Amino acid sequence: MTTTDATTLPGADEVRALTDLAERLARSAGDLVRSGRPDRVEVAATKSSAVDPVTAMDLASETHLRALLAEHRPDDGVLGEEHGWEPGTTGLTWVLDPIDGTVNYLYGVPAYAISVGVVAGEPDPERWTVVAGCVHAVVDGRTYTAGRGLGAYRDGVRLAVNPERELATSLVGTGFGYRADRRRAQGRVLAELLPQVRDIRRIGSAALDLCRVAEGTLDVHYERGLNPWDLAAGEVVAREAGAVVTGLRGRRASADMSVVGPAGTVAALAALLADLGADSDG
């Protein structure tokens, strides 16, 4: 197994193998989530607030992904939404969202996905280099894959972001946190932004949102509060389709803010978001 860190990245053959494995894992967890969805999904627990649910299937899907990784890549690290971080020894970490879009899963809204990313370096969006990833939409089976330097694909079709657009004609995706104080601040930002763009979409799965930017069914996406597992696989898909992935005020994308899309559109949106103080809850 190749040893890597933030400065020693895997070569093209290993990136291809990691991409293939990410896809196998995401599809396998997708089969589990698809076939095991009861008619009525119950909340098993809550996390950051009463409206931040965990279902039994979030836990089962992550357990399944971790078991496959233990079999195929036992020396890599794993960071997952439900079971935390287990460091590895290779410099690579698998970053897992066992169901991205859990509220949609709970209600049967057909926009939820398995997100499997691989990053080099610390599993922190401000420090990592995304290497490979797969986002598998559970309900319709759309599957997005990307490997660093190898392009981004949806079911074998090469993806490219939309041409740069003015904000006034841009379709903007976003999402909201689970805490009331953050939502209040996000609502204030949205009230300023909405009159200045074509329209807003809140689809409910950040991983799918980033893939939509990659395929051009959204122009740009921004969100405050994304976790590493919401971002990792979608980031590599978006980047490989030509997107810029950034934060505000010269920072990299982080939990404070991520803005993803064609460079010119991102520059205009990031400047407006900075003016609006969208990277704070004040």
Q: Which stretch binds ligand IPD (CB under 6 A): 68-76, 96-104, 140-148, 247-255?
A: 96-104
Least gap, CB of 275 to ligand IPD (angstroms)? 22
Least gap, CB of 205 to ligand IPD (angstroms)? 5
* Among residues 61, 102, 162, 246, the one that binds ligand IPD under rule CB under 6 A: 102
> Closest residue to ligand IPD, Cβ-based?
175
Least gap, CB of 163 to ligand IPD (angstroms)? 25
Per CB under 6 A, contacts with ligand IPD among 60-79 are: none
Q: Which stretch binds ligand IPD (CB under 6 A): 94-102, 150-158, 164-172, 264-272?
A: 94-102
Nearer Cβ to ligand IPD, position 15 or 22? 22
Distance CA(230)–CA(117), nearest Å, equals 10
* Among residues 97, 122, 215, 256, the one that binds ligand IPD under rule CB under 6 A: 97
Q: Which stretch binds ligand IPD (CB under 6 A): 23-31, 37-45, 100-108, 234-242?
A: 100-108
Could you say whether residue 101 binds ligand IPD (CB under 6 A)?
A: yes
228-240 helix and 206-215 helix, angle to the nearest 10 degrees: 10
Nearer Cβ to ligand IPD, position 218 or 226? 226
* Among residues 14, 23, 62, 100, the one that binds ligand IPD under rule CB under 6 A: 100
Per CB under 6 A, contacts with ligand IPD among 196-235 are: 204-206, 223, 225-226, 230
Could you say whether residue 170 binds ligand IPD (CB under 6 A)?
A: no
DSSP the chain: -----SSS---HHHHHHHHHHHHHHHHHHHHHHHHT--SSPPP-EESSSTTSEE-HHHHHHHHHHHHHHHHH-TTSEEEETTTEEE--SSSEEEEEEEEE-HHHHHHT-S--EEEEEEEESSSSTTT-EEEEEEEEETTT--EEEEETTTEEEETTEE--PPPP--GGG-EEE----SSHHHHHHHHHHHHHHGGGSSEEE--S-HHHHHHHHHHTSSSEEEESS--HHHHHHHHHHHHHTT-EEE-STTPPS-SS-EEEE-HHHHHHHHHHHHHTTTTS--
22: left (phi over 0), alpha (psi -120 to 50) or beta: alpha
- Show the site string, 148-167: x = touches ligand IPD by CB under 6 A, - = not: --------------------
| Binding positions for ligand IPD, rule: CB under 6 A | 81, 97, 100-102, 175-177, 204-206, 223, 225-226, 230
